[in-house]
Structure 1
């Protein structure tokens, strides 16, 4: 491959400045991996990863000498991080790692040449380098050819690469998703044969790779690959479980294909970049169906309460993958609420029901709107148009009531301090019960006047065996 390609790649000025620093000290430095791949593809990249002939102590000394802020969390693996000229960079010594075949922990062996360092990288499209400041292009494993062919292939045998780090199997699916590339046949076969090796990887690393996949240009490509190779069985078995056999009368949809369609529908509703939580909610929204499948009249297939069962299943799986608590709370609530809308079109919803829908969704309402709309995958155009019109009507109704009542701040008409003062109560369970009672009234009837709220509070106190101070009653109107 011609060295001229290196001169055609846009190399950031900071990379050349860092290269001059290392060259003056007698060391090689190369921009490697993702930044080179993305530059060839004319994609933006914030990563600045380098490989060098300098050992970590030498790299650290050079960077410190020139006033960079450095960190050494990756020092055991030969990596020194720094803020250099206002840019975050990572510089790693040439490596020739060997692994124990049981854990992901490598026995770090420093290499002495660039080619061997590139050989140990995950895929050929990430095994290209450009020297800085000289801009000499190195591509010993034809990564640029694989970019042209739009294929994901390993520099050496896939079995050796995945044996070194099984997470690379998920990374293959992630790059397929991000770049819309195919995976080479031998690579796919190795992923299938070695899927069980993913058990060597920590939940946190699997989660991070899964999130990156879901943020890709087309996560469905990667998701299909995970299911087809058996990798999904290792960390998200609820997904392949959706491939339920359709009964002979085709009484229910193919839930797996429906789910992937919902993911793509959700992507179309995104407003500013990937919304990973919305995409994951779409992916998991029906995982309760296999556990709730039953048969109703005339053999019709049912999935009663699958949204609640699915929410519990999602909570358990997301906890196992070490998702943040706030993300788990939102995703499980979205799954639990995604079916509630379907009673709206029958004209059964009162303003009270609308208030409860908004209050239960809370800050998740914008994503819930998108999830519910994404869930409509029927091919019946008349039915699809009706559902869309129904949800348009619901959103308009929410806006009207919100404008009148400030639904985003639905609270009882009296707060806890006022309840304690009016009933002469100390803090405790009675105060909480009274607060909840007044909130229910607020949801059911809308805002109450101060006099109405106090009257309802005193009535509740008497009904619950409390002796409130003298006050108005609902009947008196005083």
Structure 2
């Protein structure tokens, strides 16, 4: 299972880590400090790079803040930077590249939301203290003034960092009123950093959860992706459910907390889902490349169809027939609402729909044809389906768990054996459309498609055929059709 708790850091460790990281960044940040100071402007390293430097994490994406306005920043950077862009000019940001470093320099600013608007009003500020005061959390409201490398920490971010605590620089109510997305960011940082969230912040998130509805679906989606791909996603997801935010952005998740009573005992679907997610994360380290959002989100959504399909039987047992199909439809609908790409939406929905397929395997009774169909239907999602299916075993019965794993090992061995004997990942008929038309003496049309489909089924049932054998069987099928 993923680590349940982050390793705490001491103030001494923080000081040592930030000194080492600033020395590494020295060739870039010292230059920038000198250039902006000589031009009569202030500049400071700020936000995530400072926080992560104190945690001993390296960053080549640097955020800096300055008293210079965007056009002045461009003048200072011109000739020093190896490339510049200004897509963030509206928000006071000029980007540039220097060696291996991507750098964004942003004018001191303050931004707030109109209660009915989805877009922030941006006003440039005049001081570093004012800029830090408008940031989301104290651990992100620290700066290093350049070129002196003086640490500015007006809100106690270093102490909160050492204690693993998320607080806001001002009142959380004011912070979340300015930008409601910060409530999602609290959950995301809890998941990324493994930090606790201060009680007053949790209280404000709970009281103001409705405010998230003014934020665009795209911004909510982006925070959700970062949360799900974080190191400790359970922390963030639990916070979303606890505060009621999940009911606004991912209502299928809290709906999994099905009521339980003394007469109808069944597995806690909500806790099961979070465990499946964590087990999928363990497996992705071995089988997939890096944090895999599709596999993780499929694990999170795989049982969302259960509340709608639950039925109590007379013997006290519970069934969830077709929750895989219902869950896939619900997943597709939610991901479209959150403006996910069609590709990701279909990938996740496909995995949700197929996550029970393995349980028809029994103790290995599937024919080679059934194995081929399993591979064909999974397509390029097969490795993720392996991960999801294995992760979906959360039984505490050790013998049952071991039996399930052995059975899936057997299925994977059979897939590997078939791969050695035939082209399994891209199953096609043994004859193409042109060959079908030539053999049957027909023109392009519906009948060619029917013949192609029949040959594909033949390939699935019997495996690859020699061209002459396929030709004879096609002719026999054609004659039988009359």
Tell me the TM-score normalized by structure 2: 0.93
Matched, 1:229 2:243: yes
Who is 1:209 aligned against? Answer: 223
Q: Distance in 1 between matches of 2:323 and 2:291?
A: 27
Q: How does 1:15-26 map to 2 (within 5 A)?
A: 15-26=29-40
Aligned in 2, Cα 1:425/1:60: closer, same or farther, shift over 3 Å?
farther
* Conservation of the 8 A alpha-carbon contact between 2:21 and 2:58: no
- Candidates 322, 325, 334, aligned match of 1:317: 334
* Conservation of the 8 A alpha-carbon contact between 1:7 and 1:135: no
| Greater relative contact order, per chain length (Cα 8 Å cut-off, separation 6+) | 2
Q: Distance in 1 between matches of 2:263 and 2:281?
A: 32
* Conservation of the 8 A alpha-carbon contact between 1:97 and 1:108: yes
Superimposed CA distance per residue, residues 296-341 of structure 1 (whole angstroms, 9 cap, x where no aligned partner)? 4523210111111111111111111111221112111111111011
Superimposed CA distance per residue, residues 259-300 of structure 1 (whole angstroms, 9 cap, x where no aligned partner)? 000001111112243122111110000001111111345232
- Candidates 181, 188, 193, aligned match of 1:179: 193
Shift of 1:250: 4.6
Who is 1:473 aligned against? Answer: none
- Candidates 343, 357, 361, aligned match of 1:326: 343
Who is 2:376 aligned against? Answer: 359
Who is 2:19 aligned against? Answer: 8
Q: Which runs of 5+ in 2 are unaligned?
A: 1-10
* Conservation of the 8 A alpha-carbon contact between 1:4 and 1:137: no
Superimposed CA distance per residue, residues 360-394 of structure 1 (whole angstroms, 9 cap, x where no aligned partner)? 11111111111100000001111111111111111
* Conservation of the 8 A alpha-carbon contact between 1:6 and 1:130: no
Who is 2:74 aligned against? Answer: 60
Q: Distance in 1 between matches of 2:111 and 2:426?
A: 57
Q: Distance in 2 between matches of 1:18 and 1:117?
A: 19
- Candidates 370, 374, 381, aligned match of 2:398: 381
Who is 1:458 aligned against? Answer: 475
Query: Which 4+ stretches in 1 moved above 6 angstroms?
Result: 1-7
- Candidates 126, 135, 141, aligned match of 1:112: 126
Q: Distance in 2 between matches of 1:34 and 1:312?
A: 38
Superimposed CA distance per residue, residues 379-425 of structure 1 (whole angstroms, 9 cap, x where no aligned partner)? 11111111111111111111111111121121111112211222233
Superimposed CA distance per residue, residues 204-245 of structure 1 (whole angstroms, 9 cap, x where no aligned partner)? 111110010011111011000001111111111111110111
- Note the aligned Cα RMSD (angstroms): 1.9
Matched, 1:429 2:443: no
Q: Distance in 2 between matches of 1:161 and 1:462?
A: 76
Who is 2:92 aligned against? Answer: 78
Q: How does 1:70-149 map to 2 (within 5 A)?
A: 70-149=84-163
Shift of 1:6: 10
Who is 1:302 aligned against? Answer: 319
State the secondary structure of the residue aligned to 2:294: helix
Shift of 1:185: 0.5
Aligned length: 465
Q: Distance in 2 between matches of 1:291 and 1:379?
A: 26
State the secondary structure of the residue aligned to 2:425: helix
Shift of 1:68: 4.0
* Conservation of the 8 A alpha-carbon contact between 2:50 and 2:144: yes
Aligned in 2, Cα 1:380/1:4: closer, same or farther, shift over 3 Å?
closer
Tell me the TM-score normalized by structure 1: 0.93
Q: Distance in 1 between matches of 2:415 and 2:86?
A: 52
